[in-house]
Structure 1
Amino acid sequence: MTDKPSPTAKPKPATPRDAASLILLDQSGRTPRLLMGKRHQGHAFMPGVMVFPGGRVEPSDRSMSAYGMLADHTERGLLTRIVRPSPTKARALAMSAIRETFEETGILLGEKGLGAPATSSEHWRAFAEHEVFPSLEGLHFFARAITPPDRSRRFDTRFFMVDSSAIAHQTDGVVGPDSELTELKWLSFDEARAENLVWITRTILEEAAKRLEIGLEKDVPVPFYREWRGKRLREEI
């Protein structure tokens, strides 16, 4: 006869999945503006709120061709406090941010004039069709956050920033009433603060503002948000 779990026993927290998110930053005007999208009201996860494009890492993110390399300090930060660190994993996290940005906004980040990158992955087909090599240069890792353990869906998300000059192409029809993001907005930081944001998005927004003041190219510690025994922690990695 097997022992039955206590009715008061808490279920084991879900294992966080590797994910990435990206802030596109337009610094061409007097006031920097960043791109945000409104999630579909029908989503089970964060419905109807404003977010930065992002999602989980896919296997093809490890092998997709890319232009350039991550800065040394960016790679080092991405490989801090993780299981089985490797340059391939750091690269996959950055590539995931680029791919998810396209899948949610239609924006392809990278370099043109190099021909079509070779890929057999459906996730990256649009880059080959539009002859855009996804570019790792210019991506700045500036924050990390893990979804609290009481959530059914958990992500270990790395947040990147990149200047909008990295936009190589934009396709139509990706954003709309039946899409994951129903609208896109280029917002100043103050305008973004006035939107409907969940706590972590608002927190990452403030971290982005701080990092922009320090300088995106600077080798500085990266804030790491997680929850431990019911308390929100901000650490640095």
Structure 2
Amino acid sequence: MNKANVDKLEPSAAAPAGKRLRPRDAATLILLDRKGSEVLVLMGRRHAGHAFMPGKFVFPGGRTDPADGRIAVATDLHPEEEANLTAGLGRTSQARARAIALSAIRETYEEAGLLIGRKGAFTTARRDWQGFAEHGVVPSLEVLRFIARAITPPNRVRRFDTRFFSAWRSDVAIELPDGGPTNELEELVWLPLAKAREADIPDITRMILDELEKRLADDPLLRPGGAVPLYRRVRNHFTREIL
């Protein structure tokens, strides 16, 4: 995929000529469920008023707050998942990897009202984690699987270095009936993978869904340590490489 095609992915997000932004860490969680022989994926429609990808169906997710890494957890990342997160392009410390993974869990609570972890006593001074304290859920990282990484091309108004994780619906300790405390996502739906690809989704989301389907075909249980693809632009070409 060349530069012209990359620029077509999100034309509304193009930055002024010559302006280059450093990508910020972000995390996304692909929550999965099984219904018979089908695998369903949770997606939400972004609010129409958002400047970034308005009206698109996406996975819950958002920017990483480095302070997320200091949140107490019931279980840490599986060693093979941590190894994948700290490997590859750039320097990702164990602390940074932990913060990125925890931000995926926090964003899933904030946007979808789903608390991933184990029931138990949990306290924190962090306001954006108070939902876990109120509902008695200790976040758990061992359930996360690192599926893919994608870096927004240069010359965009917003640039993210996004890690895509997956987990199963059975890993959710509590599902809040009214959703999360933010209004980032207007509509939450569970879609079969084939239907999800047909929805109004960003091109990179469709690519990640393809990666996920291939991995599920090889490993339906999504065991730790699977190969992780990285999508980024190199010398004006969109590339896929394995971390």
TM-score of the aligned structures, taking structure 2 as reference length: 0.88
Aligned to 1:3: none
Q: Answer whether contact 2:147 2:165 (CA < 8 A) is retained.
A: yes
Aligned to 2:11: none
Instruction: Give the deviation of 1:82 after TM superposition.
Output: 4.8
Instruction: Give the deviation of 1:219 after TM superposition.
Output: 2.6
Q: Aligned match of 1:96 in 103, 110, 116?
A: 103
Aligned partner of residue 14 in structure 1, secondary structure = coil
Q: Provide the C-alpha distance between the structure 2 equivalents of 1:219 and 1:102, rounded to a whole number of angstroms.
A: 25
Specify the structure having the higher radius of gyration (Cα): 1
Residues 127 and 213 from structure 1, CA distance in 2 versus in 1: closer, same or farther, beyond 3 angstroms? same
- Code of the aligned partner of 2:213: A
2:191 paired with 1:187:
yes
Q: Provide the C-alpha distance between the structure 1 equivalents of 2:231 and 2:18, rounded to a whole number of angstroms.
A: 22
- Residues 42-69 of structure 1 show CA distances to partners (whole Å, capped at 9, x for unaligned) of 1100010110010011133111111112
Q: Provide the C-alpha distance between the structure 2 equivalents of 1:28 and 1:213, rounded to a whole number of angstroms.
A: 16
Instruction: Give the deviation of 1:171 after TM superposition.
Output: 2.1
Q: Provide the C-alpha distance between the structure 1 equivalents of 2:209 and 2:184, rounded to a whole number of angstroms.
A: 21
Q: Provide the C-alpha distance between the structure 2 equivalents of 1:27 and 1:170, rounded to a whole number of angstroms.
A: 17
Q: Answer whether contact 1:175 1:182 (CA < 8 A) is retained.
A: no
Instruction: Give the deviation of 1:10 after TM superposition.
Output: 4.7
- Residues 51-106 of structure 1 show CA distances to partners (whole Å, capped at 9, x for unaligned) of 00100111331111111121111101111135443211111111010000011111
Aligned to 1:32: 39
Q: Aligned match of 1:73 in 75, 80, 85?
A: 80
Percentage identity across paired residues of the two chains: 48
Aligned to 1:130: 135
Aligned partner of residue 213 in structure 2, secondary structure = helix
Aligned to 1:213: 217
Q: Provide the C-alpha distance between the structure 2 equivalents of 1:106 and 1:190, rounded to a whole number of angstroms.
A: 25
Aligned to 2:231: 225
Instruction: Give the deviation of 1:19 after TM superposition.
Output: 0.5
Q: Provide the C-alpha distance between the structure 2 equivalents of 1:220 and 1:128, rounded to a whole number of angstroms.
A: 32
Q: Provide the C-alpha distance between the structure 1 equivalents of 2:163 and 2:17, rounded to a whole number of angstroms.
A: 28
TM-score of the aligned structures, taking structure 1 as reference length: 0.90
Q: Aligned match of 1:204 in 198, 201, 208?
A: 208
Q: Provide the C-alpha distance between the structure 1 equivalents of 2:72 and 2:87, rounded to a whole number of angstroms.
A: 24
Residues 126 and 81 from structure 1, CA distance in 2 versus in 1: closer, same or farther, beyond 3 angstroms? same
Q: Provide the C-alpha distance between the structure 2 equivalents of 1:86 and 1:198, rounded to a whole number of angstroms.
A: 29
Q: Answer whether contact 1:60 1:123 (CA < 8 A) is retained.
A: no
Aligned to 1:64: 71
Q: Answer whether contact 2:78 2:224 (CA < 8 A) is retained.
A: no
Q: Provide the C-alpha distance between the structure 2 equivalents of 1:212 and 1:124, rounded to a whole number of angstroms.
A: 31
Matches of residues 9-24 of structure 1 in structure 2 within 5 Å? Answer: 10-24=17-31
- Code of the aligned partner of 2:184: E
